[in-house]
Every structure is written in C-alpha cells, then in structure tokens.
C-alpha cells in the first residue's frame, strides 16, 4: 500500500537501539565531511537521536520530522526538533551550512522538490548529505515491513544522480555504504549547493 501523504504513516514511537547504531555510523561519516561548529538541518530525524549526537559533537542543529509523534517524543527528551514538511518547508532560506538527512528522501512524494528545498535552506556552497536505500518498488514490497511507506525508489545511484544534477547539486561523493536492511544496500550522497 502506498500512502498519498506521510502524515498518515503509522509509527511506533520508541527509542530504537538497533536503528540508533545505524545513525551513529552515519553521523560519524557526516563529521568527516562537515566540521563543527556548523549550522545543520537534520531532515526527517525521527526521534531526534541524530540531533542529540550532532549537538554533542558541537554542531548547531535543528531537526525536523513530519510525524508529530516523533516530534513530541524528541521534544520530551530535550531534543531540538520541530514539525516540518519538506514539500512545503518553513525553514529559513540560506540559513544552514549543511543538510543531514538519513532515510527521508524515499518517503517524500517528489525527490526534485525535496532537493530544491535542501538547496534553498542551505547557504551557497553548503553540503547536502543524504543516505537512503537502493531498492526497487518490487523488492521493497516483497519485504515484510510495516507501513510500506516509501514513495520513491532508486535501484541504482545514476537514478538519483540524474535528479540531483537537474536541481544543480554538484556531486562530491556518491557510493554504496553499509547495509541498513537485510536484503538491500544504502547509498550515501554528498552534494554541494550552487
């Protein structure tokens, strides 16, 4: 089942240790590319664990998520997370040095709009740092995964690179990284804003 709007996505709001281990490795990779103290927008931050890690490492960070339950959960733990929809983003233009987004773009109904918003909120020359699964709709649908709420699928890196180039991002790095699901691969994309 595909959702027309991620506001309808059913979620379990809880601290997820296994997911947190993946976030820790992604934050480590981010820190190699973007040095603190940078101003960072953490897009699709779920429970805000990555916000907590980035803040601890000296970044000025604000997290966003479209699921109010995640926002509430994060705020209850003192994490700076606000509700926002990247399709109609309210974050200020050219405010951030970098965008950090782990497994969000595949949940957005329009990749081009998502990337355009990332560019809009990031200073010229800033970094857009994304990770997402490489998979086909059929492969995702075959897995037992609650919600099945991915709206966009990228089977290979060039599928995503085509869109990133169309919006004007300069690719700094694009490559596969550690597996995040038992039967799939994860892509790490780093782009520089015009």
Domains of the chain: 23-192 (3.40.50.150)
Q: For residue 170, what are the β-bridge partners?
A: 192
Rounded distance between C-alpha atoms, residue 62 and residue 81, angstroms: 6
At 135-189, the pLDDT tens digits run 877 877 776 655 567 788 888 899 999 999 999 999 999 988 765 554 568 899 9
> Interhelix angle for 111-121 vs 157-166, to 10°?
50
Closest CA to 122 of 53, 62, 194: 194
**pLDDT for position 90:** 94
Q: With bands split at pLDDT 50, 70 and 90, how would you rate the model's confidence at 39?
A: very high
Query: Mean pLDDT across the stretch 102-124?
Result: 95
Rounded distance between C-alpha atoms, residue 101 and residue 189, angstroms: 10
Largest CA distance in the chain: 42
Q: With bands split at pLDDT 50, 70 and 90, how would you rate the model's confidence at 13?
A: low
């Amino acid at each position: 089942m595909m959702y027309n709007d991620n506001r309808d996505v059913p979620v379990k709001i809880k601290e997820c240790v296994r997911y947190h281990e993946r976030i820790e490795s992604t934050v480590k990779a981010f820190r190699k590319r973007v040095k603190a103290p940078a101003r960072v927008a953490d897009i699709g931050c779920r429970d805000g664990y990555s916000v907590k890690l980035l803040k601890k490492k000296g970044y000025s960070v604000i997290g966003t998520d479209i699921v109010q339950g995640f926002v509430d959960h994060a705020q209850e733990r003192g994490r700076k997370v606000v509700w926002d929809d990247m399709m109609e983003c309210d974050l200020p233009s050219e405010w951030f040095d970098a965008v950090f987004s782990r497994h969000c773009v595949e949940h957005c109904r329009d990749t081009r709009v998502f990337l355009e918003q990332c560019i809009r909120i990031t200073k010229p020359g800033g970094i857009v740092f994304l990770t997402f699964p490489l998979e086909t709709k059929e492969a995702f649908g075959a897995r037992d995964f609650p919600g099945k709420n991915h709206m966009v699928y990228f089977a290979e890196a060039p599928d995503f690179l085509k869109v990133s180039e169309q919006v004007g991002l300069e690719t700094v790095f694009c490559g596969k990284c550690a597996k995040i699901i038992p039967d799939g691969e994860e892509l790490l994309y780093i782009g520089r804003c015009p």
